[in-house]
Amino acid sequence: MGKPDPTRFFGRDVTAEDLATVKQIVAEYPGLPRHEIAATVCEAVGWLRASGSPMTRECREWLEGLEAMGEFVLPYKRATCIRYGTSASTPTQAEGEPGAPLEGTVRDFAPILIERVTGPAGRKVWRELVGRHHYLGYATPYGAHLRYLVRVSRPEPTIVGCVQVSSPAWRMAARDRWIGWDDETRAVNLQRIVNNSRFLLLPWVKVANLASTVLSRIARQVGPDWKEQYGIEPLLLETLVDQERFQGTCYRAAGWADLGSTTGRGRMDREHRREGLVPKTVFVLPLVKDAAARLCEATATCGFGPEGPLKGDRPCVQRGIGK
């Protein structure tokens, strides 16, 4: 790649606002690997492929070119790295095969057990079930995340679903309006939001009200689990529901608030030419009564401020910083 142009990125205009956002991300997250900084930049300014995936490789090259020009200093290159946010092949094992149909009500199969995935055996099962039966498939998530297997107890213990929560979206207009924060406060408190990035009930499971029951149980369990794992108390859950596939009925039944729709296009798509991205419904669920007010507090609550980790505190886990 030749000498980069700070005003152009692979045929796209880079505005002064875009460049300022890039520099802010580089400055605020010095502990991230370069590929994650590039992915964060792509999410923030809308540099996506037609498929919706971030242009991480191209952005990293562009960033390294700007670093060579003295625009900023990136973290040191690491010898090895994990590819995040990319589809991955999944193993095939008996647990992933369709089981006997389960039909009835939650009471017929109670108690419903939400089991946090912590070991390699559980991770293997979770990965296969999501890879084979979720319409988005399996992808290694960016940053912090927790995974759960859902089981029914009767007539015998049986896995019926999978849940994943992970780091939040960098920007989401409907969510950000609902909270009412500015960019500076969002950068400080963003890591106190957790995204429900995967929710799967297996296709042969037809248990009335199971989905809303699981979502309600997860909402009670995520807070303590996230704080135990990452040292941060989450204040809000968020998720995006594909409007072409789902109505979000189970989220509404579990008390999640419908904040409206995304645009179905990236912020850089000024001429409305991108195809293949559909609008999604934005749902949120406060985990505390004053969630929006606390998210608008301008004081860093996770030990990671604009100048880096704060002395005596843990660094924040947004996009993988921290434990």
Helix, strand or coil for residue 33?
Answer: coil
Pick from 281-285, 312-316, 319-323 the range whose average pLDDT is largest.
Answer: 281-285
Give Cα 34 distance to the centre of its chain: 19
Give me the residue label for tokens 């242009």. 55
DSSP states of 222-257: HHHHHHHHHS----EEEEEEETTT---HHHHHTT-E
Please check whether residue 69 is in contact with residue 113, taking contact to mean a CB–CB distance below 8 angstroms: no
Q: Can you tell me the distance from the alpha carbon of 235 to that of 167, in angstroms, rounded to the nearest whole number?
A: 13
Q: What are the tokens at 282?
A: 């934005």
Task: Identify the residue with better confidence: 10 or 210.
Answer: 210
Q: Can you tell me the distance from the alpha carbon of 209 to that of 92, in angstroms, rounded to the nearest whole number?
A: 30
Q: Can you tell me the distance from the alpha carbon of 285 to that of 42, in angstroms, rounded to the nearest whole number?
A: 26
Residue 285 pLDDT: 98
CB atoms within 10 A of CB 230: 24
Task: Identify the residue with better confidence: 120 or 277.
Answer: 120
Average of per-residue pLDDT across 16-28: 89
Task: Identify the residue with better confidence: 38 or 214.
Answer: 214
The strand pairing partners of 261, in sequence order, are 281
Summarize pLDDT for 147-203 with one digit per residue, the tens.
Answer: 999 999 999 999 999 999 998 888 889 999 999 998 889 888 998 999 999 999 999
Q: Can you tell me the distance from the alpha carbon of 110 to that of 131, in angstroms, rounded to the nearest whole number?
A: 27
Report the predicted TM-score, pTM, of the whole model to 2 decimal places. Answer: 0.66
Position 51 confidence tier, pLDDT thresholds 50, 70, 90? low
Beta strands in 51-201, from DSSP E residues, in sequence order: 102-105, 112-116, 145-152, 158-166, 193-201
Packing angle, helices 56-68 and 16-28, rounded to 10: 90
Q: What are the tokens at 176?
A: 């950000």
Q: Which CATH number fits domain 94-320: 3.40.710.10, 3.40.630.30, 3.40.640.10, 3.40.605.10?
A: 3.40.630.30
